[in-house]
Amino acid sequence: MNRLPLLLRIAANAGASLVLAFLVLPILAVVPASFNKASFIYLPPRAWSDVWYERFLADPEWRSSLFNSIEVATLATVIAVVLGTLAAIGLRRIDGRLRTIVTGLFLAPMIVPVIVTAVALYRSALDVGLSGTILGMSLGHALLALPFVVINVGIALRAVDDNWLKAAAGLGAGPWTIFRTVTLPNIVPGIVGGAIFSFITSFDEVIVAVFMAGYSSKTLPVKIWESIRLEFTPVIAVAATVMIALAIVLFALAQIVSSRTGGRAQ
Amino acid sequence: MSRRHLETACLLGPALVVLALLFVVPLARLFSLAFTDPAGPFATFGILAESSVYRQVMWNTFVVAVVVTVLCALLAWPVAYVLSRLKGVWFAVALYGVLFPFWISVLVRTFAWMMLLERNGPINRLLMSTGLTDAPLALLFNNVGVLIGMIHILLPYMILPLYGAMIRIDRRLLLASDGLGAGLLDTFRRIYLPLCLPGLAGGATFVFLLSLGFFITPALLGGSNAITLSMLIASFVNDRLAWSLAAAGSMALLAIVLVLMALTARLLPVEKGFFAR
């Protein structure tokens, strides 16, 4: 069992390779589809062109949806990171049953199906006039991103020794000075990781956005969602490629940050 | 001492207030709508339970979730095993292969499958050019498309906990079993499989619970031929403005998810699977 017989080992490797190809290759198929010259989606393209990128950039609706997405994701990230970082630090200062309950509450948005959260948010947003606004979507996305920030910063906080805080206090530092000079420098990787995750969570999110978006505040995923149902053209592949490109950049950033965190923990 | 409590309250307070305003209150308000049907406070649940159409939707949601979970478990097995044995560059390549899809939007991945599974898409053309089929297969707008798309999205949630369990297995146990004369199958059945079970259970719980609430992928790949509970809730809100039914459906979905979580947490050490992420 420590070494499988050759035939089984070949089978395991072949199976794993096939499954990995199944996971990765379909995503990459989006890129060639966006460079298709034809007016319909055809894979692999018979003639290549960047005409659909020009269409994407020239169309005010696609362009504004991209800017809306950036705006919503930035706002959601700021809200989630500020609230989540404070909460993670606060969680460390309570213990026992209370800590379990509060932690559970912070993680609850991950457990409740997003469709339920989206419908509930939409209903309340209608009542208070936040439906169809950038702020409404940002708040909804901040809610979904909050657990990731609390978890990320919470993990980073484990590296901060309580004795350091006591030592700083003993030397006469106030709470703010302790936070600025001891806690913060140690949890920056956790905060940055949480921020990257929040941004991509919001940028990629469709369900809350589909319910909350108004006519003029569509995000990129909402515009894609609507376009898929109306007309299945290569311009959707362009938008999808933009989303993939952004995800790859943020993924690489997160890898760099987490490798730094790993180095720190050792 | 009280100053310390005040500080803690200031740290936790803002997030808790926002959580209450954006999550607890909206959910409570939505659920209260379930009891506002003119026919009586519990009429909505009766409508959902008695209509054969809605029962069919719930049955379809459940069947899809079970099939997705089983197929994910089977497909995850070789990947998790190979990951637990690989080292160096090949390990990194395989691990990134599993992690990369996590970062790509569910909508983008669903769109990719729409292109691939189309009537005139590359998969159908490949099947026909190799002579495996004569006419294009209907891979889209039915449960086949839904299963492929959902497995693609949920598979990493199964692979990572299973890998987490496999990597913790002490190889000396397998050597000992081998040395004591147990065959390959016996060692697998009596040592390897039981030690993998926590990871498998954690992954299966994840995948099953996420499947139940899936919306984007079944809506685009299944369409009106494969309606799930979440699609039904969305259509109550958007097409029929039946808020009380949407609320009742949401309550039912959340209740099922919470009950299953409580059950699996009791029966199996699920938290091991969760930590393996």
The whole-number pLDDT of residue B272 equals 44
Q: What does the CA dihedral B244, B246, B252, B253 come to, rounded to 10 degrees? A: -160
Q: So what's the pLDDT on residue B156?
A: 94
CA distance to A248, B27, B95, B99, B153, per residue, from B85 (Å): 27, 45, 12, 17, 24
Statement: residue A3 has pLDDT above 90: no
Mutate to test the interface with B, among A4, A9, A19, A114 (most CBs of B within 10 A): A19
pTM of the model: 0.90
> Which chain A residue is nearest to residue B254, measuring alpha carbons?
A112
Is B253 in contact with A114 (CB distance < 8 Å)?
A: no
Q: Which residues of A touch B111 (CB under 8 A)?
A: 30, 224, 228, 236-237, 240
CB contact under 8 A, B97 and A24: yes
Cβ <8 Å between B108 and A251: no
Contact yes or no for A61/A67 (Cβ under 8 A): no
Residues of chain A contacting B155 with CB distance shorter than 8 Å: 19, 23
Phi, psi of A10 (to 5 degrees): -60, -45
The whole-number pLDDT of residue A265 equals 42
Instruction: Render pLDDT for A202-230 as a digit per residue (tens, 0 to 9).
Output: 999 999 999 999 888 899 999 999 999 88
Angle (CA) A238-A240-A246 rounded to 5° is 105
DSSP lists the bridge partners of residue A48 as A36
* Contact in structure between B208 and B259 (CB atoms under 8 Å): no
Q: Which residues of B touch A116 (CB under 8 A)?
A: 27, 30, 213, 233, 250, 253-254
Residues in chain B with CB shorter than 8 Å from the CB of A15 are 77-79
**Candidates B19, B98, B192; nearest CB to A106:** B19
So what's the pLDDT on residue A63? Answer: 93
Integer CA distances (angstroms), B209 to A32, A88, B24, in order: 34, 26, 21
- d(CA B71, CA B68) in angstroms, rounded, equals 5
Question: How high is the pLDDT of residue B273?
Answer: 41
Residues 35-74 of B with CB under 8 A from A: none
User: B111, A224: Cβ pair inside 8 Å?
Assistant: yes
- B residues 108-137 closer than 8 Å to A (CB): 108-109, 111-116, 118, 120-122
Nearest-angstrom CA–CA distance, B187 and B154? 30
Amino acid at A92: R
Residue B275, pLDDT above cutoff 50: no
For an interface test with A, the pick among B4, B12, B147 (most A C-beta atoms closer than 10 Å) comes out as B12
Beta carbons of B111 and A236 less than 8 Å apart:
yes
- Partners of A20 on chain B (C-beta within 8 Å) are 79, 94, 97-98
**Rounded to whole angstroms, how far apart are CA atoms B99 and B91?**
12
CA–CA distance, B131 with B135 (Å, rounded to integer)? 10
Cβ contact, residue pair B33, A123, below 8 Å: yes
The span from the CA of A184 to the CA of A178, in Å, is 9
- Helix (H) or strand (E) segment spanning residue A239: helix A234-265
Rounded distance between C-alpha atoms, residue A172 and residue A166, angstroms: 10
Closest-CA residue of A relative to B71 is: A19
What are the backbone angles phi and psi of residue B63, rounded to the nearest 5°? Answer: -65, -45
The confidence score (pLDDT) of residue A261 equals 63
Q: What residues of chain B, 136 to 175, have a C-beta less than 8 Å from chain A?
A: 152, 155-156, 171, 174-175
Q: Which of B261, B166, B45, B137 is nearest to A16 (CA)?
A: B166
Say what the pLDDT of residue A221 is: 95
- Give the mean model confidence (pLDDT) for residues A115-143: 94
Question: How many separate helices (H) and strands (E) can be counted in chain A?
Answer: 13, 0
B95 contacts chain A (CB < 8 A): no
User: pLDDT averaged over chain B?
Assistant: 88
Q: What is the 3-state secondary structure (H, E, C) of chain B?
A: CHHHHHHHHHHHHHHHHHHHHHHHHHHHHHHHHCCCCCCCCCHHHHHHHHCHHHHHHHHHHHHHHHHHHHHHHHHHHHHHHHHHHCCHHHHHHHHHHHHHHHHCCHHHHHHHHHHHHCCCCHHHHHHHHCCCCCCCCCCCCCHHHHHHHHHHHHHHHHHHHHHHHHHCCCHHHHHHHHHCCCCHHHHHHHHHHHHHHHHHHHHHHHHHHHHHCCCHHHHHHHHHHCCCHHHHHHHHHHCCCCHHHHHHHHHHHHHHHHHHHHHHHHHCCHHHHHHCC
What is chain A's mean pLDDT, rounded? 89
Residues ≥6 apart with Cβ < 8 Å to B111: A30, A224, A228, A236, A237, A240, B220
Task: Find, among A208, A210, A116, the residue nearest to B247 by Cα.
Answer: A116
B184 touches chain A (CB under 8 A): yes
Peptide bond into A44 cis (omega under 30): yes
Stretch A120-143: mean pLDDT, rounded? 93
Residue B261 has pLDDT above 90, yes or no: no
B224 near A CB under 8 A: no
Q: Is the dihedral of CA A96, A102, A104, A106 positive or negative?
A: negative
Start-to-end C-alpha separation, chain A: 33
Q: In a 3-state reduction of DSSP, which class is residue B145? A: helix
Cβ–Cβ < 8 Å for A198, A149: yes
Chain A residues close to B188, C-beta within 8 Å: 1
Query: If residue A169 lies in a helix (H) or strand (E), which one and from where to where?
Result: helix A162-170
The minimal CB distance from A24 to the residues B27, B78, B101 is found for: B101
The vertex-A255 CA angle with A237 and A238, nearest 5°, equals: 10
Bridge partner residues of A36 (DSSP): A48
Q: Model confidence over A84-105: pLDDT tens digits?
A: 999 999 988 888 888 888 988 9
Tally of CB atoms within 10 A around B59: 10
Chain B residues in contact with A247 by the CB 8 A cut-off are 103-105
Contact yes or no for A22 and B152 at CB 8 A? yes
Q: Confidence class of residue A262 from pLDDT cuts 50, 70 and 90?
A: low
| ipTM of this complex prediction, to 2 decimal places | 0.90
Among A13, A20, A162, most B C-beta atoms within 10 A, so best to mutate, is A20
Q: Which residue of A has its CA nearest to B190?
A: A1
C-beta separation of B44 from B245 below 8 A: yes
Could you tell me the maximum CA-CA distance found in chain B, to the nearest angstrom? Answer: 79
- Residue of A30, A89, A105 with shortest CB distance to B108: A30
